[in-house]
Amino acid sequence: MTHIITHPAPAVPLTAGELLPWVLFVGLLSLMTLYFVGAEQGATSLVQGNAVHEFVHDGRHLLGFPCH
């Protein structure tokens, strides 16, 4: 029987400059998701029609946002 021994690569710390674009991207994506789930209806609607509202309807109720 052959035994294979592997050594994991050493961890390399991330710098703030490498991490910042990902933090901004995730933050923007989170805010967009929160808007579309929580506020995309009625007077604040950016998209015409009910398509977005119906798409996120169950998620809206799951997160506690009223919509009726």
DSSP state of 10: P
CB atoms within 10 A of CB 3: 4
**pLDDT for residue 23:** 97
**pLDDT for residue 38:** 81
Q: Is the pTM value of this prediction over 0.95?
A: no
Distance, CA of 60 to CA of 1 (rounded, Å): 57
Contacts of 41 (CB under 8 A, 6+ apart): 52, 53, 67
Domain ranges (residues) in the chain: 17-62
**pLDDT for residue 1:** 63
**What pLDDT digit, counting tens, does each position of 4-52 carry?**
888 888 888 989 999 999 999 999 999 998 888 888 776 777 888 888 8
Q: Which amino acid is at 51?
A: A
